[in-house]
Amino acid sequence: MGTPSDKKLINENGVRLDGRGDEEIRPIRITTNVLERADGSAFMEWGGNKIMVAVYGPREAYPKHTQDIEKSVIKARYNMAAFSVDERKRPGPDRRSTEISKVISEALSAAVLVEQFPRTQIDVFIEVIQADAGTRIASLTAASVALASAGIPMRDMVVGCSAGKVEDRIVLDLSKDEDNFGQADLPMAVLSKSKKVVLVQMDGDLSKEEFGKATGMVLQATDRIAEIQRKALSEKYNIENLSESNTGGE
Amino acid sequence: MIDTREIKEIVFPGDDIDPGNLKARNGMHRDSEGKYTSQFFGVLQRGEEYIDVVPFNGSYFPRRGDKVIGKVMDVGPSMWTVDIKSPYMTMLHMNDTPWRTISGDIKKFLTSGDYVYAKVMNVNEVKESWITLKEPGLGLRKLEGGHIMAIPAPKVPRMIGKNGSMVNMVKDATFTRIVIGQNGLIWIDGTPENVIVASEAVALIESEAHATGLTDRITEFLKSKKGEINGNTQ
């Protein structure tokens, strides 16, 4: 971030590189139950991001010392594929993905009713197949859908979006170039109904006013994204998607 | 054929639910202000007295008195460890079986891989549970032969139907013996052709558990399969 560049990220008309306005988010598509083996799963495409999430559990927590006698432990694992970014990423956990796994686990723990199943763990495997900025909140948004499809009891859905500062303007949902060459990035996730914040991180600098504006924009966007989550979940249970109604014949 | 099926009202985690004059029962979370919100992604079911959220998916949590089907996973000196498709394994002690067991050699009664139809005897605060085979009149036993199917536990009530109407219909039409565990495991026994038809019926019930008019659909399905059914009950 803050890398000097002569690239114009927002043109004179206020249009961003990919043709979006300040408060426009990239197109989002979520598909649920894409994996046969997992208890719940989701595939998300958010702009150029492609993320697969699989949820297993609740199941007895192993190794045993990780068990919590009072609640379930959510173990999220965020992993980027070696081919997910321009330059090959060395496979395996690193500083960044360990941190993201941690913040995602904590954000999800705030939503899941973990007190209901002591001594268990819920595994959330997040595989970033293609990365294009904003993967942590995209992962979190998709993970929440996967948890719901796995039938895990939750207080609320988790939904996130990022905002940031580019060319001295506050814009929503940074793209890869805006993230790399912009001035600040603020990923944030909330519980979709109560708007309680479960994740905020900031890279770069924002003034108090800018921060307020950015969070306000994110909060507004989460309503739109939450609607996409709900559509994605209920799609599989539409009347059109019931099994063929021709049992009379054959 | 006119499709008369309808989907019941779908709710998402965190959705507000107004029970009206009904009593809120399963699948709802009550906040400090006494408002109810859904815990699950599922359908809203309004009964005569209660209102429930029935999730589309989810694992089984043992409750005292439930009759479940379990798979023996491990044999100890005096206990079997049984998998009942729950996050927690359950235990079957040799004294809770109808057999004259002697500690140390209980393998000859049940070994790993066997299925049992048992009753949940006890569940404690940390969700450890014990099951029993020793209660006459409930049909508790080791399940020999037959086939095992699995459906999500929340769909079991739909599979059974009111007073067993749904499962009895499948049993009668396919000449099979069917045992349904509260945990979502189903044991079907009969001739191979009949078991296939019965399991297709079970799969159909599972996939349309959230739609109305299911009984009619299953009746129709079973009628259409009549030619494939072997009239012999084995």
What are the DSSP calls for B120-147, one per residue?
Answer: EEEE-TT--EEEES--TTTT-EEE-SSE
- On whether residue A138 sits in a domain, the answer given is yes
Confirm or reject contact between A75 and chain B (CB < 8 A). Answer: no
Q: Report, as an integer, the average pLDDT of A20-30.
A: 94
Contact list, B209 vs chain A (CB under 8 Å): none
Q: Report, as an integer, the average pLDDT of A206-233.
A: 95
Among the listed ranges A141-145, A146-150, A232-236, B71-75, which one has the minimum average pLDDT value? A232-236
| A204 three-class SS | strand
Q: Report, as an integer, the average pLDDT of B6-13.
A: 86
Residue A240's pLDDT is 67
pLDDT tier at A144, thresholds 50, 70, 90: very high
Q: What is the pLDDT of residues B53-65, one digit of tens each?
A: 999 999 999 999 9
DSSP summary character for residue B15: -
Question: What distance in Å separates the CA atoms of residue B227 and residue B61, rounded to the nearest whole number?
Answer: 40
Is the confidence at residue A81, as pLDDT, over 70?
Answer: yes
Sheet holding A28-32, edge to edge: A28-32, A40-46, A49-60, A120-130, A73-80
Question: What distance in Å separates the CA atoms of residue A114 and residue A71, rounded to the nearest whole number?
Answer: 5
Q: What is the pLDDT of residues A152-176, one digit of tens each?
A: 999 999 999 999 999 999 999 999 9
- Report the percentage of chain B scoring pLDDT > 70: 96
Residue A241's pLDDT is 65
Mean pLDDT, rounded, of chain B: 89
- On whether residue A241 sits in a domain, the answer given is no
Contact A247 B41 (CB under 8 A): no
Nearest to B13 among A154, A234, A238 (CB): A154
Residue A142's pLDDT is 97
**Residue written as tokens 């450890």?**
B128
Instruction: Give the residue from A36, A60, A58 showing the smallest Cα distance to A124.
Output: A58
A192: domain CATH number?
Answer: 3.30.230.70
Is the confidence at residue B2, as pLDDT, over 60?
Answer: no
Q: Which two tokens stand for residue B173?
A: 């039409």
- Structure ipTM over 0.90, yes or no: no
Residues of B with CB under 8 A from a CB of A: 1, 3, 5-7, 10, 12-16, 27, 29, 37, 39-42, 55-59, 61, 87-89, 126-127, 152, 154, 204, 207-208, 210-211, 217, 220-221, 224
- On whether residue A243 sits in a domain, the answer given is no
Residue A5's pLDDT is 58
Provide the domain count of chain A. 1
Q: Report, as an integer, the average pLDDT of B202-221.
A: 88
Residue A249's pLDDT is 33
pTM of the predicted structure, to 2 decimals: 0.90
- On whether residue A15 sits in a domain, the answer given is no
Q: Which residues does residue A51 pair with via DSSP β-bridges, in sequence order?
A: A44, A128
Q: What is the pLDDT of residues A87-120, one digit of tens each?
A: 999 999 999 999 999 999 999 999 999 999 899 9
Q: Report, as an integer, the average pLDDT of A18-26.
A: 92
- On whether residue A246 sits in a domain, the answer given is no
- On whether residue A89 sits in a domain, the answer given is yes
Q: What is the pLDDT of residues B102-151, one digit of tens each?
A: 888 898 899 999 999 999 999 988 888 999 999 888 889 999 999 999 99
Question: What distance in Å separates the CA atoms of residue B44 and residue B41, rounded to the nearest whole number?
Answer: 10
- Domain containing A111 equals 28-234
- Report the percentage of chain A scoring pLDDT > 70: 92
Mean pLDDT, rounded, of chain A: 91
Residue A3's pLDDT is 54
Nearby residues of B8 by Cβ (< 8 Å), 6 or more positions away: B43, B44, B45, B210, B211, B212
- The Cα of A192 is separated from the nearest Cα of chain B by a number of Å equal to 8
Under 8 Å between Cβ of A23 and A172: yes
Is the confidence at residue B190, as pLDDT, over 80?
Answer: yes
Under 8 Å between Cβ of A142 and A30: yes
Q: Report, as an integer, the average pLDDT of B172-176.
A: 91
Is the confidence at residue A77, as pLDDT, over 90?
Answer: yes
- On whether residue A19 sits in a domain, the answer given is no
- On whether residue A6 sits in a domain, the answer given is no
pLDDT tier at B202, thresholds 50, 70, 90: very high
Under 8 Å between Cβ of B185 and B170: no
Residue A33's pLDDT is 93
